[in-house]
A and B are shown apart, each in its own frame.
Chain A
Amino acid sequence: MSDHHDDEHAREHDRPLSGPALRAKALESLLVEKGLVDPKALDELIDTYETKVGPRNGARIVARAWVDPAYRKRLLEDASAAIAEFGFIGRQGEDMVVLENTPKVRNVVVCTLCSCYPWPVLGLPPVWYKSAPYRARAVIDPRGVLKELGEDVPDGVEVRVWDSTAELRYLVLPERPAGTEGWSEDELAAIVTRDAMIGVAQVRAPDRSKR
């Protein structure tokens, strides 16, 4: 993916504007001229997704669930309400479902038809969650995908894949890693990754010597 990234930047720098950049600019100008779009509102929307939503939101939910059994119970019973307690509501997170990983069950979230992930808690999904390889393979070969990502799932563990075909949005509650006993909620939130919250990674405690 990094090659692709470099290509895109090369395209942007080498030519005045690449095809889609030029088309996007022309379309925005037209819509502004017609009075259908206020460019300042676009700035505000972009700022929201670049700075106000992101996986740190979801990480706070996970950390709270790890330290507060009553919250964990509410989260599993009515995820939308429990997540709304933090104010993480709105577009692409209206109806939430939380899936709990256990030593015997691993949950993996995908959207095979398009790109449905819970924005208020994960932020906008990275390209690879929406890419053809992940969408094609997560349902037919989840263990193969996980193995490529460095997660060997033992035969005795059940893999459940959740294809987000409706307006429900799924968040995985990963297992709390060993060695984090006594950690504060903030310390725990800091080690929760976005990949762990769609179930393609586990949360690991960093090496003690580096803490």
Chain B
Amino acid sequence: MNSVHDMGGMHGMGPVEIEKNEPVYHSTWEARVHALNIACGYHRKWNIDVGRHSRERIPPAEYLASTYYEKWLRGLEMLLVENGLITAKELETGRAESKASAFRALRPSEVAAYLRVRRLARLDDDVAPKFKPGDRVLTRNDHPVGHTRLPRYARGKRGVIDRDHGVFIFPDTHAMTRDKKPQHCYSVRFAARELWGPKAPARDSVYVDLWDEHLDRA
């Protein structure tokens, strides 16, 4: 979707500001929100792409005004209600109407192992690649209202396949219908001038990870 999360190339965002000796979390609630996201993800009611799409659907003005963990809190509230782990009324009142007896919470003793589990974005499916390193490609000029990992600045652009990462889940469908649509994911090299025009430095480039369905032969 064409929202403000897709920031590559935007102007007016100001200078990069670095905080010296930044703590891992700035406050207790930030830490709790991060941990809540992981502990709720344990129930497997959504996947990482559905999660990203929840934060992208935060209205643009709110998205820009929110701190990082405010977005994670808002996104988690959406995920919990939309996927039936809590009701909208429970979220509003803060009171449980019923126990979620079909679910068992992540236990402290399971945390270390849970964080080491491979989440399998990479798939074993035997799918032939559409492209090979060195192939010239043209990215699709699509503007889906749903989730996509093809940023606006790289749409309708000519690039070269730098490397084939192998077969991966396709996030654009995985976020919307949970369809994994296994296909090759590549690193695609775009000359800075192709993306940003003739004033960009001639040698510089941007590499974007894209999938078969984002690309046509150029």
Residues of A within 8 A of B (CB): 1-2, 4-5, 8-9, 12, 17, 20-21, 23-31, 33-38, 40-46, 48-50, 54, 89-91, 94-95, 97, 110, 112-115, 123-124, 126-128, 130-140, 142-143, 145, 148-149, 155, 158-168
In the A-B complex, the 7 residue pairs with the smallest Cβ-Cβ separation, listed nearest first, are A112-B8, A166-B209, A167-B121, A1-B19, A42-B35, A21-B29, A45-B35
What are 8 A-B contacts defined by CB distance under 8 Å? A31-B80, A41-B108, A46-B34, A91-B117, A113-B8, A138-B8, A159-B201, A160-B207
Distance A46 CA – B100 CA, assembled complex (angstroms): 24
Distance A24 CA – B153 CA, assembled complex (angstroms): 35
B contact residues, total (Cβ < 8 Å): 96
What 1/0 mask marks residues of chain B from 175 to 218 whose CB sits below 8 Å from any chain A CB? 00000000001010000100110000101111111110000000
Structural contact, B73 and A23, CB atoms closer than 8 A: yes
Distance A9 CA – B27 CA, assembled complex (angstroms): 8
Structural contact, A136 and B29, CB atoms closer than 8 A: no
Structural contact, B105 and A36, CB atoms closer than 8 A: yes
Structural contact, B205 and A45, CB atoms closer than 8 A: no
Known contacts A132-B13, A163-B206: does B151 contact A113 (CB below 8 Å)?
Answer: yes
Structural contact, B13 and A36, CB atoms closer than 8 A: no
Nearest to A119 among chain B residues (CB) is: B115
Structural contact, A130 and B204, CB atoms closer than 8 A: no
* Chief secondary structure at chain A's binding surface: helix
Write the nearest CB–CB distance from A56 to chain B, whole angstroms: 13
Contacts beyond the supplied A127-B68, A160-B206, A164-B209: 5 A-B pairs with Cβ under 8 Å: A34-B98, A113-B52, A137-B13, A140-B8, A165-B149
B44 at the binding interface (Cβ < 8 Å) = no
Nearest to B163 among chain A residues (CB) is: A97
Residues in B whose Cβ lies below 8 Å from that of A126:
18-19, 22
Distance A162 CA – B77 CA, assembled complex (angstroms): 31
Distance A81 CA – B24 CA, assembled complex (angstroms): 27
Residues in A whose Cβ lies below 8 Å from that of B149:
113, 165-166
Write the nearest CB–CB distance from A60 to chain B, whole angstroms: 18
